[in-house]
Amino acid sequence: MLKVGFIGTGRIFDLNVLGYLNYDDIEIACLCNRTIEKAKQKIKQFNINESIPVYSDYKEMLDKEELDIVEILLPHNLHAEATIYAANKGIKGISIQKPMALSLEEADKMIEACNNSGSILSIFENFIFAPHIMKAKELIDQDYIGDLSSIRIKVAMGAKGGWDIPESANIWRKDPKQVGGSSSRGSPVLLDNGWHAFTLGWWFFEEEIEKVFAWTDRYHSIDAPAYVMWKCKENKEQEHVVPQYGNMEFSFMPEMNIPSNYYNTDEFIEIIGSRGIMKINQGTSIGNKMSDSEIFTPIVIIRDGEVETYTDFEKDWKYSFINATKYFINAVKNNKEPILSGDQARYILKFNLAAIKSAELGKDICLDDMN
């Protein structure tokens, strides 16, 4: 029996908890939230054992409970502290929300603590476990559209739609040091929402990144539009047909209502290979009215003069969380390195912070120059 404890029971808990329900060998053993009553509401909402203890201090919870897995659902600036504390308690599986940390120094301390304790460190990244994105990756790995040359990721952010998010949840975004930057800027869009896009950009290519250039503006108190461009390193052992590049665009639509059960955000991905083009329609909002449109199917491939569509998926973003959690549980049970491991997530953080630094300085940043 694996005993699981949650630190934080805010909005994201409603999705993270789904993968732990209805197991015979998984027990949600305790919850922690600064406001205990909110945690008790989640116990009722998800039909969790009402007799489990609820804490307001995660350190007290980790001191008293014997846990196998801990889910850390705290603000970014607390990730390192909570991870190191959990690792020092010898907890076998530690899962943290994105982004991994606020700096590479924090990330290094987290990795070191988990290596020393033998804890399996996983930075929770649900996007790569969305059914349609998993299928897209499978086709790419089968060389279905040939050698990849470029990826374009479009992130659309509406002013309306999805969950109501309390204003208190946005306070941290106003502190430049908590959004990956210097004392004057930083980027809440790139470090927080953008983490998923940076992960997908790295994951589809699976190549080291040579350099990145980024530009952000500010509109309606949000640092958008934002653009990120990057170039992968030339791999001498495996020459590509053309050099590999990628770009991301983050757009804010102040009059747009994005129909979603979750966040007022959606993602659109275009991948170009030597034999064809793949379009991945929707991410966060998959399952809304657009998902059922014949011209808006989850995956479209143009190859050899033909258009192919892939539609047979569970069209709900929650399945990306369920799949990611099941994968992590299996990694803990079998003592395997997960995706994203600490080292993998550190590389994405490096990529992410390089883009923010580029936007601050207005020049290319070589990833090898990032400490």
Asked if residue 85 lies in contact with residue 306, where contact means CB atoms within 8 angstroms, the answer is: no
- Residues of each domain in the chain carrying CATH 3.30.360.10: 127-313+352-360
Rounded Cα distance, 321 and 227, in Å = 27
The two three-digit tokens of residue 116, written as one number: 């020393």
pLDDT at 219: 65
The lowest-confidence range among 37-51, 73-87, 90-104, 182-196 is 182-196
pLDDT above 90 as % of the chain: 74
Rounded Cα distance, 136 and 175, in Å = 37
The C-alpha R_g of the chain, in whole angstroms, comes to 20
Rounded Cα distance, 161 and 207, in Å = 35
pLDDT digits (tens, 9 = 90+) for 29-46: 999 999 999 999 999 999
pLDDT digits (tens, 9 = 90+) for 297-345: 999 999 999 999 999 999 999 999 999 999 999 999 999 999 999 999 9
**Mean pLDDT (whole number) for 209-233:** 89
pLDDT at 288: 85
In our burial notation (b when 16+ CB lie closer than 10 A, e otherwise), range 145-161 reads: beebbbbbbebbbbeeb
Q: Model confidence at 222, in pLDDT bands (50, 70, 90)?
A: confident
Rounded Cα distance, 225 and 227, in Å = 7
- Residue 172 confidence (pLDDT) above 90: no
Q: Model confidence at 173, in pLDDT bands (50, 70, 90)?
A: low
pLDDT digits (tens, 9 = 90+) for 256-284: 888 888 988 999 999 999 999 999 999 99
Q: In what order do the strands lie in the sheet with 209-216?
A: 306-310, 299-303, 276-281, 265-273, 148-160, 245-257, 226-232, 209-216, 365-366
The lowest-confidence range among 31-40, 92-101, 185-194, 280-289 is 185-194
Rounded Cα distance, 302 and 220, in Å = 38
- DSSP 8-state secondary structure symbol assigned to residue 352: H
pLDDT at 296: 83
- Residue 176 confidence (pLDDT) above 70: no
Asked if residue 119 lies in contact with residue 87, where contact means CB atoms within 8 angstroms, the answer is: yes
- Residue 354 confidence (pLDDT) above 70: yes
pLDDT at 218: 78
**Mean pLDDT (whole number) for 15-35:** 95
Q: Does domain 127-313+352-360 have CATH number 3.30.360.10?
A: yes
In our burial notation (b when 16+ CB lie closer than 10 A, e otherwise), range 328-344 reads: bbebbeeeeebbbbbeb
pLDDT at 221: 64
Instruction: For the domain made up of 2-126+321-340, give the CATH fold.
Output: Rossmann fold (3.40.50)
pLDDT at 260: 87
- Residues of each domain in the chain carrying CATH 3.40.50.720: 2-126+321-340
Rounded Cα distance, 364 and 229, in Å = 9
- Residue 181 confidence (pLDDT) above 60: no
Q: Model confidence at 255, in pLDDT bands (50, 70, 90)?
A: confident
Q: Which of 148, 133, 144, 131 is nearest to 206 (CA)?
A: 148
DSSP-derived secondary structure for 125-189: --GGGSHHHHHHHHHHHTTTT-SEEEEEEEEEEEEE-SS---GGGGGGGG-GGGGTS-SS---HI
* pTM metric for this prediction: 0.93
Rounded Cα distance, 264 and 247, in Å = 22
pLDDT digits (tens, 9 = 90+) for 121-154: 999 999 999 999 999 999 999 999 999 999 999 9
> pLDDT averaged over the chain?
91
